[in-house]
Structure 1
Amino acid sequence: MVRVSPRSRVAGRPTVVLAVVAVVAVLVTVTALLLAALGTPAPAARGTAEPPGGGGPTLGAELPVTRFTPLGEDDGYLGEGEGVSPFAEDLPLLTRMDPDLLAAVRAAATAAEADGVDVVVTSGWRSKRYQRFLLDAAVTTYADEEEAARWVATPEASSHVSGEAVDIGRTDAADWMGRFGAAHGLCRTFANEMWHFELAVEPGGTCPAPRPDASAG
């Protein structure tokens, strides 16, 4: 019978411990490499997003960030409180709008300027992911999908995504457009959004009554 002394058994333990540590280190390294390969979300810029047009409740949420890429000009995104001239060039939020709608907005803006009113566009065409962000932010704010739907349409139903809607700012310009936009075919679409306009009639026609909100069929 071969006897193993207590000293020999104790001496073998550090070897086993080192082997276990080495295996754990390899697993941690492999996990880190996999996570790096999959990519990590871009950090969100802190702030809030507001229903475009300078009116309505503020949507309490982080500024638009998707899983990998923050929203930008190619999504039709403008920062909170920002607006652009309807005559600006090379901005997707304008160039991807329906051409007839853009022409009508520009004609109306020229007429408004003659009345001393400065018209800016606070939102025009939007990408589907931008519209999805706005809807998700509204659901978070109201904690109620039905209430959120009164303010923000789904990407599939939004006239902004199809390029058939424009939001006008500031308040005096939206008010002017509500009173005189029909001369250019522009009508306010929703009663709860004084800034939202669509090309709804022939120039000089009579606008239909606005629908109560975006959830109304």
Structure 2
Amino acid sequence: MTHPEPARTAARRTRSLASSSPSAASDRLGALGEADGAVPQGVTVFDDGIPAVANLDSDLLDALRRAATDAVDDEVEFYVNGGWRSPEYQEQLLRAAISKYGSEKEAARWVATPDTSPHVSGRAIDIGHSDATAWLSTHGARYGLCQIYRNEPWHYELRPEAIDHGCPPMYADPTHDPRMQR
């Protein structure tokens, strides 16, 4: 199923991707890059050529695209800061978080292991800019899109039951999520 893409989205994405070099993304990630799930600036949920978007769970991607299409009416655009990730990329993010936060325990509040991360399975997305996360906070349940962690307002996952029952209560952070306890 294809979704209409607002003209301003296509134009903005073209400009953004042209100014964001893939080598710059690779430099930030060491040897890992776009093929592993790194996301160049300006990527939207309509960018099928970017593995972080293309490898998302199809139901999640469909819900995101429906929501993004409707959000345009409120002049809100959904940018992708993180989507699908390879296990190697997730491991690199975890190592960087351990270095930044000083311990595995503290890093676990922000970055999951490759074995537990819903990003590795394509079942999570990190949405950028604050206007988009605010829009999803208000309207996301209509699409089954729910913020999962209170400390990560950008992290959304598909919860189809939310369409009828609202989003479930958020976990304070990933360390409180039973899925992360494997």
- TM bracket, shorter-chain basis: 0.7 to 0.9
Residues 190 and 83 from structure 1, CA distance in 2 versus in 1: closer, same or farther, beyond 3 angstroms?
A: farther
Give 1:69-108 correspondences, 5 Å limit: 70-79=31-40, 82-108=41-67
Residues 116 and 98 from structure 1, CA distance in 2 versus in 1: closer, same or farther, beyond 3 angstroms?
A: same
Q: For residue 201 of structure 1, report the CA deviation from its aligned partner.
A: 2.8
Matched, 1:212 2:153: no
Q: For residue 207 of structure 1, report the CA deviation from its aligned partner.
A: 0.3
Please give the per-residue CA displacement for 1:100-153, whole angstroms capped at 9, x wherever unaligned.
000000001011111111111111100011101110001001111111000000
Q: For residue 204 of structure 1, report the CA deviation from its aligned partner.
A: 4.4
The equivalent of 1:55 in structure 2 is none
Write the letter of the residue equivalent to 1:109: A
Conserved 8 A contact 2:47-2:54: no
**Greater C-alpha Rg:** 1
Residues 107 and 46 from structure 1, CA distance in 2 versus in 1: closer, same or farther, beyond 3 angstroms?
A: closer
The equivalent of 1:120 in structure 2 is 79
Residues 204 and 84 from structure 1, CA distance in 2 versus in 1: closer, same or farther, beyond 3 angstroms?
A: farther
Conserved 8 A contact 2:39-2:50: no
TM-score (norm 2): 0.79
Give 1:34-45 correspondences, 5 Å limit: none
Where 1:197 maps in the other structure, the secondary structure is strand
The equivalent of 1:146 in structure 2 is 105
Count of paired positions: 153
Conserved 8 A contact 1:187-1:201: no
Residues 152 and 199 from structure 1, CA distance in 2 versus in 1: closer, same or farther, beyond 3 angstroms?
A: same
Give 1:24-43 correspondences, 5 Å limit: none
TM-score (norm 1): 0.67
Unaligned runs of 5+ in 2: 1-22
Instruction: Quote the sequence identity (%).
Output: 46
Matched, 1:196 2:155: yes
Where 1:168 maps in the other structure, the secondary structure is strand
Please give the per-residue CA displacement for 1:14-54, whole angstroms capped at 9, x wherever unaligned.
xxxxxxxxxxxxxxxxxxxxxxxxxxxxxxx999xxxxxxx
Q: Which has the higher helix share?
A: 2
CA RMSD across the alignment: 1.8
